[in-house]
């Protein structure tokens, strides 16, 4: 006898982060296919289990949406996308839950094959995470401890005006595509800005096929004899996905926003004498497949790998789509997430989302090599449809949001670097 098709249903509910902390233990009762997207939860269960799921939901006081059926023979997968680029590439895909950067989509086996073979650096597909946590939204807490006065003084030096002035210069290049002449002009400008701020600077050649792009590396040495290493980085290149290397690609948010932040951090720390070493890195070739960061990690020697305390990446930090303003922190391990979230609580009013599902930016090659790294980016519900087009311009930039994310990162970085004497 043929086995009957199992009808699978899904629904979602919302729960405040504050309540979620209290009820975390109880929610498991809603079944083992429960996935957290910030303060939204997606529940998937066979039809036969659904009555008890609904009853338990009533018992613990959460309101489920009306359940919907998954198409026959389909399964739910996790998609991580930049902007809305998966939705643009596969407009017919059935979205079961939309968490912005993170989607749950239902696909047949064949569709899954087709999507996973699609050669794209704009999205990635995988099974849903075993942990059930796609990303968490934390409650903003007033800081539990005071920052050192010298750390706070440095954090308070971060200026939206100084930041905006540098960003305007970066966006004035017609493109910063890694294969364009303009990229090399942007590299030259940034190297000069960093040198003028007193950093040792050098270019690192990044082979991309038969061509070469560059990473800009600026260094400040610490005062201790045995020194650790702290890295802040951002990709300098931009892209117009519809065009070629000469097409207009101002890349204001992606990623003039992170690049200008590197220069601003350099300015803020110019007179600071740390205990440990600092590297500020502008990477090339990110939009073509993380070439700059892959190359940097591949030539990093074992001694530097062993002494690396943290590498913080900034990508798309100035487009404000969420209210309240929110930063998403992605990392490979919980410790670095918690430290950055604490810095957000201490130095900003930002709300914090965290994810252990790192994707599609320069922190990934570090994490893949087992190194401590994190991405800081505007919150996960990004509505940014302008990235990778000629519309990624200053009009959509919120320097105040960027300032908050830079304050968080300066607090985190200086805590790691220490202060000599």
> Which residues make up the interface to Zn ion (CB under 5 A)?
254-255, 315
Q: How far apart are CA 406 and CA 138, in angstroms?
A: 19
Q: Is the CB of 121 or the CB of 165 nearer to Zn ion?
A: 121
C-alpha radius of gyration, the chain, whole number: 22
Q: Is 157 or 241 the residue whose CB approaches Zn ion more closely?
A: 241
Please state the closest distance from residue 319 (CB atom) to Zn ion, in A: 11
Helix pair angle (257-268, 160-171), 10° resolution: 130
Residues 6+ apart with CB under 8 A from 85: 120, 122, 123, 241, 388
Nearest Cα to 312, choosing from 331, 328, 327, 294?
A: 331
Supply the minimum distance, in Å, between the C-beta of residue 265 and Zn ion. 18
Looking at beta carbons only, is 136 or 254 nearer to Zn ion?
254
Give me the least distance between CB of 292 and Zn ion, in Å please: 12
Instruction: Return d(Cα 248, Cα 241) in angstroms, integer.
Output: 10
d(CA 33, CA 320): 32
What count of other Cβ atoms lies within 10 Å of the Cβ of residue 59?
10
State the minimum distance, in angstroms, from the CB of residue 254 to Zn ion.
4
Q: How far is the CB of 294 from Zn ion (least distance, A)?
A: 15
User: Nearer Cβ to Zn ion, position 254 or 339?
Assistant: 254
When the beta carbons of 56 and 177 are compared against Zn ion, the nearer one is 177
Q: Closest CB to Zn ion among 255 and 326?
A: 255
Tell me how far apart the alpha carbons of residues 15 and 30 are, in angstroms, rounded to a whole number: 14
Q: What is the Cα–Cα distance from 34 to 79, expressed in whole angstroms? A: 16
Closer to Zn ion by CB, 64 or 311: give it: 311
Least Å from the CB of residue 315 to Zn ion? 4
Q: How far is the CB of 234 from Zn ion (least distance, A)?
A: 8
CA–CA separation, 63 and 149 (whole Å)? 46
Q: At what angle do helices 257-268 and 399-417 cross, to 10 degrees?
A: 50
For residue 354, list its beta bridge partners: 136, 329
The distance in angstroms from the start CA to the end CA of the chain is: 80
């Amino acid at each position: 006898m043929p086995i009957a098709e199992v009808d699978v249903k899904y629904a979602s509910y919302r729960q405040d982060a504050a309540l979620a902390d209290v009820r975390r233990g109880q929610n498991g009762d809603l079944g083992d296919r429960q996935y957290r997207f910030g303060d939204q939860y997606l529940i998937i269960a066979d039809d036969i289990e659904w009555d008890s799921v609904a009853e338990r939901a009533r018992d613990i006081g959460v309101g489920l949406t009306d359940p919907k059926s998954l198409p026959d023979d389909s399964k739910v997968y996790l998609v991580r996308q930049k902007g809305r680029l998966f939705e643009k590439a596969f407009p017919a895909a059935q979205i079961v839950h939309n968490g912005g950067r993170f989607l749950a989509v239902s696909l047949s086996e064949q569709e899954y094959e087709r999507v996973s073979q699609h050669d794209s650096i704009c999205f990635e597909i995988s099974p849903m995470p075993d942990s059930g946590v796609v990303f968490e939204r934390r409650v903003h807490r007033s800081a539990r401890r005071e920052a050192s006065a010298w750390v706070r003084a440095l954090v308070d030096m971060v200026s939206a005006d100084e930041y905006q002035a540098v960003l305007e210069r970066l966006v004035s290049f017609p493109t910063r595509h890694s294969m364009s002449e303009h990229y090399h002009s942007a590299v030259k400008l940034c190297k000069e800005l960093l040198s003028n701020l007193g950093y040792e600077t050098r270019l690192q050649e990044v082979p991309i096929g038969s061509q070469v792009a560059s990473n800009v590396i600026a260094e400040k040495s610490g005062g201790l004899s045995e020194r650790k290493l702290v890295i802040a980085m951002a990709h300098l290149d931009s892209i117009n996905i519809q065009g070629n290397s000469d097409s207009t690609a101002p890349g204001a948010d992606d990623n003039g926003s992170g690049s200008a932040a590197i220069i601003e951090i350099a300015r803020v720390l110019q007179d600071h004498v740390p205990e440990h070493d600092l590297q500020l890195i502008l990477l090339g070739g990110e939009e073509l497949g993380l070439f700059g960061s892959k190359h940097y990690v591949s030539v990093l020697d074992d001694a530097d790998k062993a002494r690396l305390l943290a590498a913080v990446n900034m990508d798309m930090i100035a487009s404000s789509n969420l209210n309240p303003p929110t930063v998403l922190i992605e990392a490979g391990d919980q410790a670095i997430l918690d430290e950055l979230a604490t810095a957000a609580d201490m130095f900003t009013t930002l709300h914090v989302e965290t994810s252990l599902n790192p994707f599609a930016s320069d922190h990934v090659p570090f994490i893949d090599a087992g190194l401590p790294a994190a991405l800081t980016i505007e919150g996960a519900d990004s509505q940014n449809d302008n990235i990778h087009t000629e519309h990624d311009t200053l009009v959509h930039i919120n320097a105040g949001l960027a300032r908050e994310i830079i304050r968080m990162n300066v607090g985190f970085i200086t805590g790691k670097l220490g202060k000599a004497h």
